[in-house]
């Protein structure tokens, strides 16, 4: 039974188109460096890549939050270090101030002035800001928290007691801000008392102020220790997330990125196959034409 010429022609065209489509797909893979360009190319591979991309996007959000939180906590730590230095200076001045070898004039005109300077510096540290937000004002981050009252007898607090929580990972949240009143008010009050005691030559007030300065160091160190612990947690979390994200990116690259040596080799092979198909189809069609002519 003779095969119709139309079937031979149609088969030849189909073989050529199929071979050309395969070659074009491999050419695109080699030129884009990607295993697929749309979801229909390999639905299973595309689905896996989408899951990986989603996981990378989520981890990027947590890493960004962790990085910002770490910077905030590091600025807290810097503020604690500065306040620690001021507490040490105030303690040293008051040890001299309560000495029997110091007169009332020196206390009022020298040591009281130094304590006033330390008080102003301490308030400035309490008003430290990061990215235009105050560190120690609770949730009222746009409000300067501390200000010396007009009569100089107290340091007023304008912030609130709100806490700022940040998510480091699913189900893992930390508080990044410190209660400024708890951390610093004991020191502010001690400095105000020390200043008044030195100015009035009141030995009882000076001794009480010296004791309060030591208490202030203890109070601040509680906040400082808590800040340091959370800072370590944030650093550890970010390091873990970064490692995990890099692993996910590696897996995504395996799914998406083409092996160039393999892609080029397969393209060259398919190109050869296509040329062979063209040649065979051309010969077949020519033979049919010759047969029709002879017939």
Confidence (pLDDT) at 291: 43
The DSSP H or E segment spanning 239 is helix 203-256
Beta bridge partners of 54: none
Cα–Cα distance, 107 to 202 (Å, whole number)? 10
Per-residue pLDDT at 286 exceeds 80? no
Map tokens 């490692």 to a residue: 243
3-state secondary structure of 147: strand
Q: Which of 17-26, 160-169, 183-192 has the highest mean pLDDT?
A: 183-192
Report the chain's terminal Cα–Cα distance, integer Å: 17
CB 39 within 8 A of CB 46: yes
For the chain, give the percent of residues with pLDDT over 70: 69
For residue range 85-115, list pLDDT tens digits in order: 999 999 999 999 999 899 999 999 999 999 9
- And the tokens for 134? 């105050």
Neighbours of 91 (CB within 10 A): 17
Q: Is pLDDT larger for residue 293 or for residue 182?
A: 182
Confidence (pLDDT) at 79: 97
Cα–Cα distance, 116 to 32 (Å, whole number)? 69
Q: Report which of 95, 112, 121 is spatially closest to residue 213, judged by C-alpha positions.
A: 95
Mean pLDDT to the nearest integer, 222-227 = 96
CB 174 within 8 A of CB 234: yes
pTM: 0.73
3-state secondary structure of 189: helix
Per-residue pLDDT at 77 exceeds 70? yes
Please state, rounded to an integer, the average pLDDT across all residues of the chain.
82
Q: How confident is the model at residue 53 (pLDDT cuts 50, 70, 90)?
A: confident
CB 210 within 8 A of CB 84: no
Burial per residue of 111-128, b for 16 or more beta-carbon CB atoms within 10 angstroms, e otherwise: bbebbbebbebbbebbbb
């Amino acid at each position: 039974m003779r095969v119709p010429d139309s079937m031979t022609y149609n088969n030849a065209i189909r073989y050529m188109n199929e071979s050309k489509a395969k070659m074009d797909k491999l050419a695109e893979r080699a030129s884009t460096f990607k295993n697929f360009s749309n979801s229909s190319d390999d639905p299973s591979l595309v689905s896996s890549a989408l899951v990986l991309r989603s996981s990378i996007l989520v981890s990027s959000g947590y890493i960004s939050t962790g990085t910002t939180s770490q910077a905030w906590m590091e600025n807290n730590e810097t503020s604690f270090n500065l306040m620690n230095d001021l507490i040490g200076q105030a303690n040293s001045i008051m040890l001299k101030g309560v000495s029997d070898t110091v007169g009332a004039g020196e206390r009022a005109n020298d040591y009281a002035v130094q304590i006033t300077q330390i008080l102003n510096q301490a308030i400035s540290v309490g008003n430290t800001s990061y990215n235009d937000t105050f560190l120690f004002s609770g949730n009222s981050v746009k409000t300067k928290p501390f200000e010396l009252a007009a009569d100089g007898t107290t340091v007023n607090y304008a912030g609130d007691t709100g806490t700022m929580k940040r998510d480091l990972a699913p189900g893992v949240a930390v508080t990044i801000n410190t209660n400024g009143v708890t951390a610093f008010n004991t020191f502010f009050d001690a400095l105000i008392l020390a200043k008044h005691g030195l100015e009035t030559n009141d030995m009882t007030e000076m001794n009480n102020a010296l004791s309060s300065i030591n208490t202030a160091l203890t109070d601040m160190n509680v906040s400082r220790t808590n800040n340091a612990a959370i800072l370590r947690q944030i650093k550890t979390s970010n390091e873990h997330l970064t490692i995990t994200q890099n692993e996910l990116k590696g897996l995504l690259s395996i799914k998406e990125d083409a092996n160039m040596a393999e892609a080029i080799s397969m393209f060259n092979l398919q190109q050869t196959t296509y040329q062979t198909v063209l040649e065979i189809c051309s010969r077949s069609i020519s033979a049919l034409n010759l047969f029709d002519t002879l017939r």
